[in-house]
Structures are given as C-alpha cells and as structure tokens.
Amino acid sequence: MASEMRSIGKPTPRIDARERVTGQARYTGDVQLPGMLYARVLRSPYPHARIVRIDVSKAKAMPGVHAILTKENCRIQWSSGDSRNKRLLFNDPVRFVGDAVAAVAASDRHTAEEALQQIVMEYEELPFVLDMEQALAPGAPEIHPGGNLSPNNEGERAPETDQRGDVERGFAEADQVFEDVYISKHHNNAQMEPRVSVAQWEGSRLTVWASTQGISNCRRDLAKDLGLPLNQVRVICQYMGGGFGNKNQCHDFDLMASALAKETGRPVKLEFTRAEDFVAVHGRWPTKQYYKVGVKKDGSLTAIRMKAYSGMGPYRKGSGGVAGAQLYRCPNVKTEVYPVYTNMAVSANYRAPSYPQGVFGIESLMDHIAHTLGINPLDFRLKNMTEKYHDEVPYSSYGLRDCVTRGAEALGWRQKWHPPASDRGAQKQGVGMAMGYFGAGLGMSSAVLKLNPDGSLQVHVAVTDIGTAAKTTMGLLGAEAMEIPFERVSVLSGDTDRAPYSVGESGSRTTNYTGYAVVTAAEDLKRQLRELAAQSWSVAADAVQYSQGAVYMQDRPDRRTAIAEILKGNPDGLIAQATTDPKLKGVSRNSFAAHFVELEVDTETGDIRILKYVAAHDSGRILNPLTAGSQVKGGVAQGVSMALREELLYDQMTGIPLNPGYYGARIVTHGDVPDVEVIFVETADPYGPYGAKSVGEPPIVPSVAAIANAVFNATGIRIKELPITRSKILDAAPGVRLEGGRA
C-alpha cells in the first residue's frame, strides 16, 4: 500500500456527473430499438380474490396488439419474488391490489393500455387482512396454505429469534422495568427512475436492458427463471436512476418483457407508472415492536426483550428483521420477529432494511428510560452503548463513541439540552439524538483490470452505480492501487458481457466487495510489471520495485522506467483478474453513526421545523468525502421523510392503497430537508480497501429516532407511531381542545 494517498480521501466529482446532468446518459427508459413493442400490465383491483374467468379475445383482436400473457399461457416462476413460496408472474389467487394478472405487448403504449381495458376479468373476492397481528389471529384469511406466519430460515413456522443470557433473570435483577410499543409504516423506496425493462432476443440469446442494482444477479435470476444457460443472457444497465434496495435481482417486469419479446419475436419495453411503482414492486416493511427493558437505578441495562411483527405483504422477498437492540450493552437479550403475510403491498429491502424502524423503537424507548431515570440521554448512551458485538466479539474498528461525542459537541448538546417541554410559548424547541449501526460485510466479487501499453488503466466491474458513485469509487481504487492519476483510469461497467461477476449494489457492499477485487487485481498487475521488467533486465523479480507508474531496481530508485516503456512490445498491455472473498477473523464489522437534531415544534399547528442537523459517521476511511457526504445527506432526507411525512395508506374497508405516488404518500421535497452537517469519524478498518467500511445505508438508520427524540424533548410528547404528523402532535398536545364547536 502506498504510504501517502493520492486519489482517495480527496473530494472527487462523479466520473459520469456531466453525462447525467446534461441528459447524455442513456438510462434504460431511453433505450429505443427498431420494431420495439410496448407493454402494459393489468393488475388486480382486489386485495385477495380468486380468478374465475379471463377473456382476452377482444383485446387480442385489436389492431396493434401482438401478445397477451396471463396465468393461462404463462407459468413462469419469479423465483427472486419470493424466497418461501412459489410466486409466478401471474398468480391466482391474487393477493394484493396491484398483483399482476395480464401483460400486453402492442405497437404503442396507448394501444397496450386500451387493450388492458378490453380484457374481461371475473373475480371471486376472498376475505383479506391488512393488519399484521390480525393476520396471525385464529380464523384469519389464509394468504398462503399453512398460515400467515412466514416460515423462518429453517423452514419452520416460527419467529426469527436471537438470544443471549436469560431475560427473565435480567428482569428479576432490574430496579425498574419499562414496556412499550412502537409502530412503523410501509414506505416506498420512491427512487427517481421508474421500473423499466427492455428485452430483445437474437436467436436463442436474450439481452435485457434493465434498471437494476446488480446486473450479475439479474442475469443469474433471468437465466434460472427462463431456463437459459448463463452465456445466453446479457444484462445491460449503464446508467441507473436509483433503487434503494428494491431493484436487486431480477424483477417480474424483466421476466414479462422477456417473455413478451419471445412470444412476439420483437423487442419489448415495459415501463411502470409511478402508481404501479408504489403498489406493485415493494417498499419497507411496516413493524409493530413490543419492548420490555429492565434497568438498574444507575441506568445500566439488565434485560432487553423485543417481540415484533413485520408486515411482508403476501410475498416474502427480504428478511423482515427488526434491528436495533445491538446498539446496547446488555447481558440478557431476547428478540423475536414474526414476519407476517398480509394483503398489503409487498415489503422487502429498502435502504438499511431492518434498521431505521427498529432503531426508532429502541432509541425512542432508551430515550424515554433516560428521561424517566433523570439521566441526560447523552450520558445514558455514553454509559450503555455497545463496545463489542453481543458484548463479546470485538469490532474490526470502532468509532461509535467518537460519533456520539463529536456529534454532541457539533450540535451544542450540553448547552441546548433541557428537560422536556421547557419552552413556555406555543413554539417549543428541543434536541434529540440517536445512535445507529449497520453491518459492513465482506464477500465475493470480481474485477478485471487492463493496463494499456500507454499506461492508462481500464477497470472492468459489473457495478451499475445506483447513485452511490460506485463507478467513481472503483476508478479511485484502481488509481490509488496503481499509484497513477485518477484521470488515467476508465471504468467499464454495467454490462455482463464486458465485466465479471459483481455482487450488486445492495447491502452497502460494493466498495468492500468489488473494491477489494479491484485492489487485489491491481496488485497482480504490479507483480506482472515487476516480472516483465525483471525478465528484460535479467534480474530476480523481487529485485524490482513499482511505484507511481514506473518500475526500478530496488537499489536504483532514481532510474525509473515508465509502464509504457515496459509494455512496448506488448500491444495489448496486461490483464489481471481477481475474484476475492475475504473473511473476518474473530471480529464483527460494522459502520456506526450518531445523529443529533435540534428542532422547533409549533404546538398550535403541529408543525415541526428542523433547525440544525448533525450526522456523525464511522464508515472507516472515507474514500471520497464528496460522494460519501452525499450519501449521508440523502439518507437523512429519507429519514426525515419517514419520521415526519411518509406513509402508504390503505383503506380498511376495500383494501386499496389510497395514496400511491410522490404527492400522495408525501415523500419529502428539498424544501422539507434540512442542511446536514456531516462529520466523518475516520477509523482505519483493517479489512476494507484502504480502511473503508460501508457508507450507503447507515445514514438513514438513526435519523428517524433522533427526530422523534427531539420532538419529545421539545414538547414532552412521545409519538410512538410513525409518521409524526401534525394530527398526532395535536391529538396529544396538552391543553389544546380539538372538538368542533365551543372552545
């Protein structure tokens, strides 16, 4: 490793920023192919119903209609659409409003849509259930045979549990026991780019232009579900317009476009509307979390017990977990999570899938406990925060304490904190904080590096860059490892025919997985260069050194030979490939964060205005402070939205989603999002490339809880159900009369 960093650690604009903002970038929706057809999808208007009859004859007879798929002629399984049950592209019974029942390919969008209107569907409505706990009650409508508790990883109908110590003993030892319930809602990922897929067959070979977070996984899934050899499937995604976790793997629309293209012999584009995007793909799982926590008078924890329900909708893709308890040191912990099927929209991964909802619960409750015991919430955290995973396994690197102390200092916590509801007027100010963590995993990924004879470097990686600046990061790592200027590096990505396997941009892992492979391949390039030089100089390879684009004899550092010189007789340059799969040894690897918020609540209108927001993060060494800072700001924006605004609402009587879309579900705009002061507490992690850990997902983790805690400090009102809307503040505000008529 170079002793002094050249490329990393400097604020570097994205390598594709210019194309993106000038409209040159060709997103999947921009792909136009000769003879291309357009597809649209017909969806169930009922939350739960059996299909009695489908009649497509009128639609099929329409001029311009080329193909119609329904459950009657298409039995393709969408295997990544459900890890527990067999989910087809078109299911019967339909299990949520928005479940696909037919897809039409036609010469243009309007014809496709008119054809949908001509398809006759007859349903037999079935009883439905939206609420998680009701779904588990005896006699609840069964959404899948065997009941509504989704099987755990072992295939048993039992909750996912995690346990250490003995909670009952912990409660017995406690001076005081707290019990509480926290509720979070279904939130859509609301990424900017809608779902879209373009499929084209050339003979038996399928090319899909996808809007995916992972072209390698998308290709794997397409091949599996369509029964094709891997070399017959190519997935392309050069520019990607966001996903936040719901564009992993391949999707039903990729499969539908592929199947329609096969059926018609023409390329097919399938693009969802924003409303479809909200109800028919997936969002964050809603949760209901029951806590019981035991404490000693001095504030030390004796037991944490959580029993939580996660509403997965009718299909189970992601885990359904509820994270958070790991933030605290405690000898006795038991968590039980029940992932439940309901007839709502499907729930799966959304940025830090299990975290912000669970951290909202645990960090609100810990804040409440600190308040009740008369301990400053900051001191309570400093006393009880995790220092080892499960109190026993050391962290690979640990910056949580620094996040808390530096964040508190930046906010001015000691000066600003006051007992709840101290302000006398209608406008009440308060501060709140919360901690967060997120697993920073390691795993398998690949990179191919090509060092050209002129000394320029091509990095081939199958990243798609979902907004994390992954392409730029891969370039920076290549430049750093080769000790050459960043400008000499190009990144070839987003095409499975041009790049080796990459893990896919999910789990905040591209830098750690694929970046590791890039650095490893670069080491190999340097070895090859040294060997070439050694050969031509007729010396032993270890007598040759490499630095900054040149080789030299160990004892003659002043006589440098540039790469171009070494590669003169080598028209194709050098190629190195690495598939890496690093493993942790006896440690737990996590990113950490602490967020601090100062806000003002107008108790007459329930208005909440964030005055100051400090986000302190330990994501290891920061490779690119510019784009890492953007990750934090974006995560905070989503946290604000989740805390104060957003919710996909369902009508209890009809089971229909009432407000899909940006406006309806009240996704925040720039006007709602505060300026964020970002602090990076840089730890040098021994496992990540140049000490980096994860930064993509952690920023949303503590945000919701920090805001909720600040609302409590301002008003004395503890809102336990998201989002913290005006109506909830006003309904709880003491002294405000809400009934109509007389004052």
Partner 1 sequence: MDAFEYASPTTKEQAVALLAGEWGSTELLAGGTDLLSLMKDYLVTPKRVVNIKSVQELKGLRYTAGSGLRLGALVTIAELVEHPQARKEYPALIQAAEGIASPQIRSLGTVGGDLCQRPRCWYFRNGFGLLAKDEQGGSLVADGDNRYHAILGNSGPAYFVNPSSLAPALIALGAKVQLFGPGGARELSLDRFFVIPKTEQDREYALKPNEILLEVLVPPATKVRSATYEVRQKEALDWPLVAAAVALNLDGNKIRTARVVLGHVAPIPWKAPEAEKVLAGKTVTEDLAAEAGQAAVSQASPLSRNAYKVQLARVAVKRAVLQAAQGGV
Q: Which residues bind partner 1 (CB under 8 A)?
A: 110, 113-114, 117, 273, 604-607, 645, 649, 651-654, 656, 658-659, 662-664, 666, 668-672, 725-727, 730-731, 736-743
Distance separating alpha carbons of residues 395 and 375, to the nearest angstrom: 27
Residue 741 beta carbon to partner 1: minimum distance, rounded to whole angstroms: 6
Residue type, position 322, single letter? V
How much of the chain is helix, strand and coil, in % rounded to 5? Answer: 30, 25, 45
Q: CA end-to-end span of the chain, whole Å? A: 73
Residue 727 beta carbon to partner 1: minimum distance, rounded to whole angstroms: 4
Quick one: 94 or 668, whose CB is closer to partner 1? Answer: 668
**What DSSP letter does each residue of 593-632 carry, written as one string?**
EEEEEEEEEETTTTEEEEEEEEEEEE-BS-S-HHHHHHHH
Distance separating alpha carbons of residues 90 and 51, to the nearest angstrom: 11
Strand, coil or helix: 523: helix
Quick one: 203 or 740, whose CB is closer to partner 1? Answer: 740
Quick one: 415 or 652, whose CB is closer to partner 1? Answer: 652
Residue 649 beta carbon to partner 1: minimum distance, rounded to whole angstroms: 6
Quick one: 94 or 517, whose CB is closer to partner 1? Answer: 94
Distance separating alpha carbons of residues 481 and 1, to the nearest angstrom: 7
Contacts 24+ apart (CB under 8 A), 421-428: 421/714, 421/715, 421/716, 421/717, 423/714, 426/602, 426/603, 426/604, 427/600, 427/601, 427/602, 427/603, 428/600, 428/601, 428/603, 428/714, 428/715
Quick one: 227 or 741, whose CB is closer to partner 1? Answer: 741
Distance separating alpha carbons of residues 51 and 525, to the nearest angstrom: 60
Count of CB atoms within 10 A of residue 684's CB? 12
Quick one: 583 or 670, whose CB is closer to partner 1? Answer: 670
Phi–psi pair at 257, nearest 5 degrees = -60, -40
Quick one: 539 or 658, whose CB is closer to partner 1? Answer: 658
Quick one: 229 or 671, whose CB is closer to partner 1? Answer: 671
Residue 272 beta carbon to partner 1: minimum distance, rounded to whole angstroms: 13
**What DSSP letter does each residue of 708-737 carry, written as one string?**
HHHHHHHHS----BSS--HHHHHHH-TT--
Quick one: 275 or 626, whose CB is closer to partner 1? Answer: 275
Distance separating alpha carbons of residues 80 and 108, to the nearest angstrom: 29
Quick one: 540 or 743, whose CB is closer to partner 1? Answer: 743
Residue 673 beta carbon to partner 1: minimum distance, rounded to whole angstroms: 9
Residue 344 carries which DSSP code? S
Residue 654 beta carbon to partner 1: minimum distance, rounded to whole angstroms: 7
Residue 655 beta carbon to partner 1: minimum distance, rounded to whole angstroms: 11
Residue 644 beta carbon to partner 1: minimum distance, rounded to whole angstroms: 8
What stretches of 286-394 adopt beta strand conformation (E)?
A: 287-295, 301-311, 333-340, 388-389, 393-394
Residue 190 beta carbon to partner 1: minimum distance, rounded to whole angstroms: 12
Residue 605 beta carbon to partner 1: minimum distance, rounded to whole angstroms: 5
Residue 670 beta carbon to partner 1: minimum distance, rounded to whole angstroms: 8
Query: Angle at which helices 355-373 and 703-715 pack, to 10 degrees?
Result: 30
Whether the Cβ atoms of residue 619 and residue 701 lie closer than 8 Å to each other: no
Quick one: 529 or 665, whose CB is closer to partner 1? Answer: 665
Quick one: 75 or 670, whose CB is closer to partner 1? Answer: 670
Residue type, position 217, single letter? N
Whether the Cβ atoms of residue 224 and residue 79 lie closer than 8 Å to each other: yes
Count of CB atoms within 10 A of residue 211's CB? 29
Distance separating alpha carbons of residues 738 and 660, to the nearest angstrom: 29
Q: Work out the burial of residue 553: count CB atoms within 10 Å of its CB; fewer than 13 is exposed, 13-18 middle, 19 or more buried.
A: middle
H or E element in which residue 638 lies: helix 625-644
